[in-house]
Copies of this chain bind each other. A is one copy, B any other.
Amino acid sequence: MQALLDGEGAEIRGRVRQLLSTPAFSYQSFASTQAYREQVYAWCKILADEGLGALAFPKNCGGEGDLHAYLATMETLGFHDLSLLIKFGVQFGLFGGCIQNLGTAYHHEKYLPAVGDLTLPGGFAMTELGHGSNVRKIETVARYDQETQEFIIHTPSESARKEYIGNAANHGRMATVFAQLEVGGQSYGINVFMVPIRDEQGEPMPGVTIRDCGEKLGLNGVDNGRLWFDQVRIPRAEMLNRFAEVSPEGEYVTSIENESRRFFTMLGTLVGGRIGIGASALSAAKSGLTIAVRYGAQRRQFGPEGQPETVILDYQTHQRRLMPLLAKAYGLDFAFKYLGRRYVDRTEEDAREIEALAAGLKAYSTWNTTHTLQTCREACGGQGYLAVNRFAALKADTDIFTTFEGDNTVLMQLVAKGCLSEFKQQFHDVNLIGLIRHVALQAATAVTQLNPIVTRITDADHLRDPHFHLDAFQYREQRLISSAARRLKSRIDQGMASHDALIECQQHLVNLGHAFVERVVLEQFLADVEACDDAELKTVLERLAALFALSHIEQHKGWYLEQNYMEGGKSKAIRRQVDQLCADVRDDAVALVNAFGIPDQCISAPIASIES
């Protein structure tokens, strides 16, 4: 089973696992936040020295040009202390990735080798205090001074301070700064600049003010900081100019004329980050499941009179809490591997769809991690509350995942807009009116006919049939698309502004985002089950996929019943199937979590030890 999960990346995953099992990576408790940050930095340095940071960089810049391997590394690091994961992701994925994606040969050669071996630590300075989700409104200015051929980076107000910048509080020497470009009094929207923030001695550069963000709920091994720029000058060449540049004479030259399209192209750096975060969040969920399942399979409490107490994993409520989450972890694993392949092979044509997939899976996976870790902690009772059993760190460190690298609620709306526009154009555009009319018109002509007999079938063969599952997931997605289009169209036809119409249908759009992601996860789950050629393994996977599918249909049964997609008797039969599948999967549960292949040293929780 582990071979299946490791897939083509088995070699790199094995290397990272081995590293994480060395004494250098054992967990410690720290006397201070500063000591913790220095340890995380030291861990990062080991990984950099092993060439893992530069994996995705071009070969001529010290890298391997292997994005696949980089993503597999991130995912595996998700088994360890998550401050390390985030510090690693900031340095190599965001800071380095930004230079790689938005810079040209000059920047690549000048910076990437030093980024990759961590001799140049840096930050990704996009977010501002007043501008989190709505990046387009950032206020930091980069004004071109033609006389000196420099850009002047400036923070014009308190809401414009760069906020929450990883690597800024202690270690960063430079930052890729997102700023509104001004040339000759005219504004050219957001562009990105290489700005030194500390000198060789670690002192802030002239004009740069740096403050620590202070204690956080988790991830305290990452040095998040705030940045203010007071008329800081940088040479013209330090603008990352892959898509746009300013000529010495002050002419703005760009290969993407449409400002909106240019803006979202530049945000593309976030797509890889979202895949990394989503997949690593899944790794943290797997850690939680490993601990809770192993503990649940040993812990006994209550039982029949005069007999040994019952193992708590044999209780229906315990199975109901953990088994669907175990199934979902497998489904998400397959979905992230699919997304990774699509992302590495992406073209201009499918970029929109892949962005939507990355946004949706990031949101779906991180919410699932929060829920999974909470459930697992509770399933371990008071033992789960002791720091030594790991939930303290796992829960705290992942808590921000649902709102950073794109707030999940905002991301799900992007996904929905993508669905409504069939990923054919920029789904970030607010003006969707034309598309909505198109989709609403299509919907009116293509109403799915429900077979009244099928809505009543309750036999196990049908209920466990993957075709039924996929049909249900697809039906939900399609209905939510067409009804969203209809609801939006009727408001716009009545003269409502599109912003207001979208707000009135906002929850509907979030639901659509979920339905889209769930359909993709199920499709990939079923594809991987289908491809499995080990009969015994296949049976286990089929049960997991059925549990994933049916527990979600059960979760949405209110919606399915409203739509008359099924009758009450069928939804009750589904509940019984879920009960049964939970009991079936329980038998393989320990083997299934062991197959995640999490190094013992990463788990470390005494209650998860196999011997205990």
Contacts and interface: CB of A to CB of B under 8 A. Distances in A.
Contact of A503 (B134, B315, B378, B510): B315
A579 B315 contact: no
A422 interface: no
Interface stretch (A234-242, A381-389, A535-543): A381-389
A150 interface: no
A385 B134 contact: no
A304 interface: yes
Nearest to A499: B304
Contact of A127 (B214, B314, B382, B387): B382
Interface string A213-224: 111111000000
Given A315-B506, A561-B568, A214 B387 contact: yes
B562 A562 contact: no
Contact of A303 (B305, B370, B385, B499): B499
Contacts of A510: 317
Contacts of A304: 497, 499-500
Nearest to A571: B562
A218 B382 CA distance: 12
A564 interface: yes
A457 interface: no
A302 B382 contact: no
A353 interface: no
A81 interface: no
A302 B385 contact: no
A400 interface: yes
Contact of A301 (B133, B413, B430, B579): B133
A392 B558 CA distance: 35
A320 B384 CA distance: 31
A315 B305 CA distance: 55
B378 A403 contact: yes
Contacts of A572: 562
Interface string A371-409: 000100110011011111001100110011011100111
B217 A395 contact: yes
Interface string A196-238: 0000000000000000011111100000000000000000000
A45 interface: no
Nearest to A130: B300
A163 interface: yes
Contacts of A387: 214-217
Contacts of A430: 305
A213 B304 CA distance: 31
Given A217-B392, A301-B134, A568-B561, A579 B507 contact: yes
A409 to B, nearest CB: 5
B29 A507 contact: no
A137 interface: yes
Contact of A134 (B134, B309, B497, B504): B309
A381 B132 contact: yes
A609 interface: no
A395 B396 CA distance: 9
A321 B510 CA distance: 12
A211 to B, nearest CB: 12
Nearest to A220: B387
B217 A385 contact: yes
B386 A216 contact: yes
Contacts of A409: 317, 321, 378
Contacts of A407: 381
A157 interface: no
Interface in A399-442: 399-400, 402-404, 407-409, 413, 430
A119 interface: no
Nearest to A31: B32
A80 interface: no
Contacts of A506: 315-317
A317 B382 contact: no
A2 interface: no
A164 interface: yes
A557 interface: yes
A563 interface: yes
B403 A385 contact: yes
B214 A132 contact: no
Nearest to A164: B382
Nearest to A500: B304
B309 A392 contact: no
B396 A392 contact: yes
Contact of A215 (B382, B388, B400, B408): B388
A324 to B, nearest CB: 12
A447 to B, nearest CB: 16
A399 to B, nearest CB: 7
Contacts of A395: 217, 399
Contacts of A370: 374
A574 to B, nearest CB: 10
Contacts of A321: 409
A504 B302 contact: no
Given A557-B558, A571-B562, A316 B507 contact: yes
B385 A399 contact: yes
10 contacts: A132-B382, A163-B382, A164-B382, A215-B386, A215-B387, A216-B387, A218-B392, A378-B408, A395-B399, A558-B558
Given A29-B215, A134-B309, 9 more contacts: A132-B301, A133-B301, A217-B386, A217-B395, A316-B507, A395-B399, A396-B396, A562-B568, A562-B572
Counting from the closest, the 10 A-B pairs by CB-CB distance are A558-B558, A557-B558, A217-B392, A561-B561, A215-B387, A562-B568, A304-B499, A316-B506, A317-B506, A385-B400
